[in-house]
Amino acid sequence: MELELLEERLGYSFADRELLMEALTHTTYVNEHRDVSVKDNQRLEFLGDTVINAIITERLYLQFTQEKEGPLTKKRAELISEGALSRIARRLGIGRHLLLGKGEEMDGGRRKASLLADAYEAIVGAIFLDSSYEGTAGVVRRHFEEVFGAFEEVSITDYKSLLLEYCQSQFKALPRITVVDEQGPEHEKVFAVSVTLDGRAIGQGTGKNKKQAAQEACKEALRLLDYPL
């Protein structure tokens, strides 16, 4: 029943449930149960890492047709980072299903970003072996879009950091990034952010949160400053 709930959240039902069990088994559990024929998820993790890389690379290549290799590489690195994969794993509730050794359990292993990211990679590897590349790609794309939104709407580049670095190096001054307005009810607020440099407004942006608004404002400021985006 527990595995069926996980499969429902994953959006995939395994023909071979043993693959799913293997994907959920941490090496510490295997070390403590040597009397039982059970495999850890490291090999599936290795496979899943490559499959996810291929799926995200393909999607970015097809989605961002005008982007050069450098920006595409940065976007991919951000999307397949430990932090990103662990966010997906948490949304899917993978942590509660893991088989862990007692020490790892006591050390909060079910909440560790590294362990969750590895488990998600292993599950993707298991889905790939249980189905096909195309079938796996559909599942993975859905997971990413549920967490990060539609790919065409995802802003991966940290425009705020780029702007700070650029202004420091080119103008020996840092811009001022300020929230200038917020509107709407608490659950649907829209924030407005302004960027100024030496008292001159160089960018404005809006977003559903302050961070998103700041990123949009900094992106506009970089364009105005002729930074090559």
Residues designated as active site: 49, 121
Give the residue from 120, 99, 122 showing the smallest Cα distance to 29.
99
Give the residue from 192, 190, 181, 198 showing the smallest Cα distance to 220.
192
If you write DSSP's letter for every residue of 175-208 in order, what string do you get? -EEEEEEEES-GGG-EEEEEEEETTEEEEEEEES
What end-to-end distance do the CA atoms of the chain give, in Å? 49
Phi, psi of 197 (to 5 degrees): -135, 120
CA–CA separation, 113 vs 95, rounded Å?
Answer: 10
Residue 193 in tokens: 């952010």
Residue 212 vs residues 6, 54, 60: alpha-carbon distances, Å:
31, 28, 21
